[in-house]
Amino acid sequence: MEEPISQCPQCHTTVRPTDYFCYNCGKNLHAKPPSVTPVSQGLLYAGSLLLPPLGIWWALPYLKQPDSRSRTVGWIAVILTVLSLLLAVWYTMKIVNGVTSTVNQQMQLYQGL
């Protein structure tokens, strides 16, 4: 976990940890925090479910945020990504098993004749 910035790295003016820009020189002290509006959350969660590996990637900026709300959003995205991956694996196994048992049945029918 990074220490909150209390001094501008550029002009060394003392700034509040909550400031996003140095009021003296205008330096961006934190990268702009990822949006936590319902729309961006919806997009993030949908992306996590539909494109599982990318969900982790998208969740990372949220997890790096100091506020718990952004981190919660990030963790939900991570959990959805993992669930989606598990579901994909389960579904694939189910299809593979289905195909295997169909093939086995066909083989038994063939052998029975």
Shortest Cβ 10–Zn ion spacing (Å):
5
Whether residue 58 contacts residue 75, with contact meaning beta carbons closer than 8 Å, is answered with no
Closest by CA to 53, choosing from 23, 30, 90, 85, is 85
Shortest Cβ 67–Zn ion spacing (Å):
23
Q: Which residues bind Zn ion (CB under 5 A)?
A: 8, 10-11, 13, 22, 24-25, 27
Shortest Cβ 1–Zn ion spacing (Å):
23
Closest by CA to 75, choosing from 62, 88, 65, is 62
CB neighbours of residue 45 within 10 Å? 19
Comparing CB distances to Zn ion, the nearer of 9 and 53 is 9
Structure token digits, residue 73: 């959003």
Comparing CB distances to Zn ion, the nearer of 26 and 66 is 26
Comparing CB distances to Zn ion, the nearer of 11 and 107 is 11
